[in-house]
Amino acid sequence: MRVRLTVPLAVLALVGGAVVAGSAASAAPKRMKANFAPAATATVYPGVQTRTQGGQCTSNFVFTDGTSTYIGQAAHCSGAGEATETNGCDAKSLPEGTEVKVTGASRPGVMVYNSWIRMQKVGETNPAACDYNDFALIRLDPADVPKTNPSVRVFGGPTGLRSTGTTFGEKVVSYGTSSLRFSLPPTSPKYGRSLGTTGAGWSHVVYTATPGIPGDSGSGFLDGTGKAFGTLSTVAIYPPASNGVGDLARELAYAQSHGFAGLSLVKGTEPFTPDLAGAVLSGGIGG
C-alpha cells in the first residue's frame, strides 16, 4: 500500500500554514530569458514549500521551456481525493490554472501542467505511468524569476538529468521542507540509499534519514553525482519507512509529449557536495 505525502488543509491550519484559492490561469508571458539570483540570496529555489488549496508540499527542481520558468511539485499536491488515491489515471485533482503559493515568491504561481490531468485527458492505459507519473509544473510569475536560483540547498546541483534507473545500495540525497518539521533546518537535508528501480522504470524505492513525511511530497532526489533522478511521491507500508520516488526523466518526457515540448531541467549554479556531513559542517548552500 502507498500513501501520498501532502500535508492536508486541516493540518496546515494547526501549524499556521496558509492556502491559496484556485483561479483561472493568466495569459502566458512573452518569451523571456531567465536572470537568476545568486544561490546565497535567492528566495525561490528547489525545496521551498508550495501551497495549493488542498495542502502543503515541497518543490523539486527548476525548469524552463525558453519562454517561462517553472518550479516542479508532485501532481498529487493538487489532489482533490483521499490520501490513498495514488493512481493518477482515476484520482481527482484541482484543475490546471489553479494558483499555487510558492514560499519566497512575491506573487502566486500557476499550476499549468499536471500529469494526472493529462493522463486522464488522453486516456492513458500504461499501468506503470498511471501509478507513478506524479509530476506538476508551477509557472513562476516573471517578477519572481530574478529571485530564483536552480541550485538545491545544502547539496548544490543538479548537475544534469539522470536517464537510467538507480541500483540497489546506490547513494541518494534529497531536501524536504515539510511544515510538520516546524522550520527546523537540520531535518531538511536527507541522505540515503536506493533499493533500486521498479514500476517498469517509473519509480525508485529509497530509504533516507530522515524518511519523507507528509509535506515533503514532490521533493527532488539526486544521485551520488548530483544528477536529478526523481521526485518524492509516496510512503510505502512495505518495505517499512521507505518512500516511492517517481522517475524524473520519464515524468519530463511525458510532459514534453503532452504540451511542453521544449521543457528542460535547469542545472544548478553551485557545485554538488555529495557528503552530507561535509555540506552541513561547511554551511552548505543557504544552510
pLDDT of residue 6: 45
The pTM score is 0.85
What count of Cα atoms within 13 Å lies in the side-chain half-sphere of residue 122?
A: 15
pLDDT of residue 15: 30
pLDDT of residue 181: 63
**Distance between alpha carbon 97 and the CA centroid of its chain, in Å?**
18
Q: Look up residue 90 and give its three cell numbers.
A: 482515476
Task: Between 85 and 58, name the one with better pLDDT.
Answer: 58
Cis before residue 210, ω within 30 degrees of 0? yes
Q: Look up residue 121 and give its three cell numbers.
A: 485527458
Rounded-to-integer distance, Cα 50 and Cα 244, Å: 20
pLDDT of residue 238: 64
Residue 82 pLDDT > 60? yes
User: What tens digit of pLDDT does each residue of 188-237 get?
Assistant: 888 999 999 999 999 999 998 877 777 888 999 999 999 999 999 987 76
Kindly state the average pLDDT of the residues 127-151: 97
User: What tens digit of pLDDT does each residue of 33-77 get?
Assistant: 568 999 999 999 999 999 998 688 999 999 999 999 999 999 999
Q: Do the Cβ atoms of 88 and 130 come closer than 8 Å?
A: yes
Across the chain, mean pLDDT equals 84
